[in-house]
Homo-oligomer: A and B are copies of this chain.
Amino acid sequence: MSDGTTAHKVVIIGGGFGGLVAAQSLNKTPAEVTLIDRRNFHLFQPLLYQVATGALSPANIASPLRSILKRQKNTHVLLGEVTGFDIPGKAVLLKDGTRVPFDTLIVATGSTHHYFGKADWAERAPGLKTVEDATEVRRRVLSAFERAERTTDPKERARQLTFVVVGGGPTGVEMAGAISELAKYTLRADFRSVDPATARVVLIEGQPKVLGAFHEKLSAKALKALHGMGIEVMLDAHVNAIEPHYVLVQPDDKAVAPVRIDTETVVWAAGVKASPLGQVLADAIGGVTVGRGGHVPVNPDCTVGNRPDIFVIGDMASLPGTNGKPLPGLAPVATQQGEYVAGVIVRRLKGETPKGPFRYFDKGTMATIGRGQAVAESMGFRFSGLLAWLAWLFIHIMYLARFENRMLVLFQWFWNYVTRNRTARLITGERPTGTRGA
């Protein structure tokens, strides 16, 4: 495809785990890489819940894409929003009218929250996908304690001190655990009228166990740890209303009446769907039907439909693993696909024989519940408790993109561990009257 005088143009959309690693894997190759993202930074999403609970600052888990890629001479970062594709003309279309031509295209714009068609829920129950999501959740959680301190009405106080997390996967479990620790330890002595330790944290999960992707035993351990922290876990139950002052939870056993939980703070960690750009791409290519969650079905080499020049990777792609089930929407899958696809492209440029199909190498999964408590499984081994927690800390530190952030996170975790303080607990973002908001 390269004619020898003009470099082969690889355009990557999305600077998350998949897109960034694809770009990095194309360093020092003959390809000319353009990485397009709406944001100017790569975000380490697995730690967003720590921003939402005041343990870390957004910048600690976000690294400017230009900074990461500045020494990579064949790569260009473009801040922009992709709105469409000209497939026959081989170009990506940006919102401002720019056409970005490609020889090979990699689409990796990830996933977003899925509220199953309930448009109101997005406002009432923010999730954790962006920096703004995290600072908004932080604002809501901390403001609820403030309102509890202000009121003299015991019913309102109880409502303000009730936090509902919807979804018992890793994000939901981590978020519930972090809110509980915030209330029980960090804020313990902060208030005069309320005892934050009386806060109620409710975790709602539709399946019969939390951490459904983990082994039974680890799910059971996680549940026990959650109970040990005083978190109420409702299994086999679905939220069927999120209203301004309460949620309604319907147990799957329809003989049981819906449970009303009075709360002002709901965090969404339940459903995700592929970024809407997946649908746009499928329509532009034609003959490709996205799945129920908007995922783009890909060929075994991560190409789409009959287009060897277009790849979809990461959370947006739907590809069966060796067990026949679709690969999970996890950072390691995206990362490995990014590396793999870069390898496919380089082989083509060199005229070598194509690589075999993508194989996900599952190094393991882990989730943390709270201080000293985590579960992990790797290569058939299962860990829980302190060992799993230390492994979780180590791995998350190592995967942070930049040395400075590793040091900053490490210091804050250490400090948090020793003092149980979380100093990044700022209520920001809402315009206080009389000052200019941002």
Is A146 among interface residues, defined by CB-CB distance under 8 A?
yes
- Is the CB–CB distance between A426 and B41 below 8 Å? yes
Cα distance A434–B438 when bound, in Å? Answer: 19
Is A78 among interface residues, defined by CB-CB distance under 8 A?
yes
Is A412 among interface residues, defined by CB-CB distance under 8 A?
yes
A161 to chain B, nearest CB (A): 16
Cα distance A427–B38 when bound, in Å? Answer: 10
Interface residue from B63, B67, B190, B436 paired with A132 (Cβ < 8 Å): B436
Cα distance A136–B437 when bound, in Å? Answer: 9
- Is the CB–CB distance between A133 and B438 below 8 Å? yes
Residues on B with C-beta less than 8 A from A363 are none
A163-199 toward B: CB 8 Å interface, digit per residue (1/0)? Answer: 0000000000000000000000001011110000000
Q: Nearest CB to that of A96 among chain B residues?
A: B150
23 A-B pairs with C-beta separation under 8 A? A38-B432, A40-B142, A40-B427, A57-B58, A57-B59, A58-B426, A58-B428, A59-B423, A59-B424, A64-B190, A64-B426, A67-B190, A77-B190, A78-B150, A80-B150, A131-B426, A131-B438, A132-B431, A132-B436, A132-B438, A133-B438, A404-B411, A407-B411
Cα distance A301–B80 when bound, in Å? Answer: 58
Residues on B with C-beta less than 8 A from A207 are none
Cα distance A191–B412 when bound, in Å? Answer: 32
Residues on B with C-beta less than 8 A from A415 are 404, 407
A60-78 toward B: CB 8 Å interface, digit per residue (1/0)? Answer: 1011101100110000111
A58-B428, A81-B434, A132-B431 given; name 19 further pairs at CB < 8 Å: A40-B142, A57-B60, A57-B424, A59-B423, A59-B424, A59-B426, A62-B426, A63-B423, A79-B149, A79-B150, A79-B427, A122-B436, A131-B426, A132-B436, A133-B438, A276-B434, A404-B415, A404-B421, A408-B411
Residues on B with C-beta less than 8 A from A411 are 404, 407-408, 411
Cα distance A437–B129 when bound, in Å? Answer: 11
- Is the CB–CB distance between A81 and B432 below 8 Å? yes
Residues on B with C-beta less than 8 A from A123 are 436
Residues on B with C-beta less than 8 A from A67 are 190, 421, 423, 425
Residues on B with C-beta less than 8 A from A438 are 131-133, 135-136, 139, 429
Residues on B with C-beta less than 8 A from A70 are 189-190
* A117-131 CB contacts (< 8 Å) to partner B: 122-123, 126, 129-131
Is A254 among interface residues, defined by CB-CB distance under 8 A?
no
Residues on B with C-beta less than 8 A from A424 are 57, 59
A279 to chain B, nearest CB (A): 12
A412 to chain B, nearest CB (A): 7
Cα distance A132–B129 when bound, in Å? Answer: 21
Residues on B with C-beta less than 8 A from A427 are 39-41, 79
* A100-152 CB contacts (< 8 Å) to partner B: 112, 122-123, 126, 129-133, 135-136, 139, 142, 146, 149-150
- Is the CB–CB distance between A136 and B408 below 8 Å? no
Cα distance A191–B79 when bound, in Å? Answer: 11
Q: Nearest CB to that of A411 among chain B residues?
A: B407
Interface residue from B40, B95, B402 paired with A146 (Cβ < 8 Å): B40
Q: Nearest CB to that of A427 among chain B residues?
A: B40
- Is the CB–CB distance between B437 and A132 below 8 Å? yes
Is A25 among interface residues, defined by CB-CB distance under 8 A?
no
Cα distance A76–B192 when bound, in Å? Answer: 6
- Is the CB–CB distance between A130 and B436 below 8 Å? yes
Interface residue from B149, B187, B436 paired with A136 (Cβ < 8 Å): B436
Residues on B with C-beta less than 8 A from A40 are 142, 146, 425-427
Cα distance A412–B246 when bound, in Å? Answer: 43
